[in-house]
Amino acid sequence: MKNVIFSRYTKYIILGVILALMPTVQGLGLIRSQTVATFGTIIFYAIVALGLNVLLGYSGLISLGTAGFMGLGAYLAAFFSNTLELPFLLSLLISMIIPTIAGILVGLISLRTSGMVLAIATLTVAEVLRFKFSQWNAFTGGFSGARANFPSFFGLELDRDMTFIFLAICLVLLMIITDNYIHSSVGRAFLTMRVSEAAAQAMGINLLKYKLMAFALATAYAAMGGVLYAHFIGFVFPDVWNLLLSLQILAVIVIGGLKTIMGPIIGSIIVFGVPSIILNRLPVIGDVDGLAFVFTGVLIIVVILFYPNGLVHIATDIKRLFRKRKLEG
């Protein structure tokens, strides 16, 4: 049993160590400061995508409101930590609880709707939130935005590099936690519900309980991603939390791989990392504003068409291909 758990968690821990070493590598001049900042972006979007993967990949419920809940978490964090000057950990907790409650209320919609109707309902909620972000000046700062500082807790005042390491730790912990409950009775209930709600009910699975749980988890992850966004980026603006961002996060889990834990980090690298780290630095492509994102869109289409199961499985498939050729040879 211990060996199984160790083998399941090793890849997450190795990933966390690699990410945590990036500021040190940057200090040695081997990578750019911008690359570390980009990977910070990759991390908190991967956390959000991990929650959406629980909702869509494991539970079969779709949401286009991810950006709205992420924005709500970001604004709450900025308000509680900077305006009210609450301790970071308390601000983090409250900034996750409030969106989670909202997510549970949205989850009630899923009891009577599904598919595109549910997607439009969640999109409507996100658009209402985005409108309020730009109008509620006392809370959000309106179009001027809200400011947040680097986190501080237990007497530690984190700088950018330490905040990046904190992000990496959060990602690894959430991956381990997610892996645990996906392999528990909760995960089995999600998967059964995804295949057939009628079969799930026949097996005694409470659809209300598990649908609300799925929405609560997805919203909590989105809110936490928003909190980390606010404290790492330092500013929160209303225009960020739009439909495009929700679709990008959806693309992250499709490209990385549905029903996987590692898929969101791989997909986040493709969607949010490749344009900044690689494409923007290439001749011609990097010289034209927005052209890098066009190539990213093409890459997404290619992956979906020719590798629909997600890039997380590519290493296994390559090994299988070499093994097959070896046997044939």
For residue 93, pLDDT over 90 is answered with: yes
Q: Other C-beta atoms within 10 Å of 4: how many?
A: 9
> Token pair for residue 62?
């779709």
pLDDT, one tens digit per residue, over 202-258 is 888 888 888 889 999 999 999 999 999 999 999 999 889 998 899 899 989 988 988
Q: What is the pLDDT of the chain when averaged over all its residues?
A: 86
Residue 31 included in any domain: yes
Residue 288 included in any domain: no
Bridge partners (DSSP) listed for residue 236: 146
Overall number of domains in the chain? 1
Residue 302 included in any domain: no
Residue 35 is part of which domain span? 2-245
For residue 88, pLDDT over 80 is answered with: yes
Among 47, 237, 234, 38, smallest CA distance to 151 is for 234
Residue 307 included in any domain: no
Residue 181 included in any domain: yes
Q: How high is the pLDDT of residue 281? A: 73
Residue 306 included in any domain: no
Residue 317 included in any domain: no
pLDDT, one tens digit per residue, over 142-151 is 888 899 999 9
Residue 318 included in any domain: no
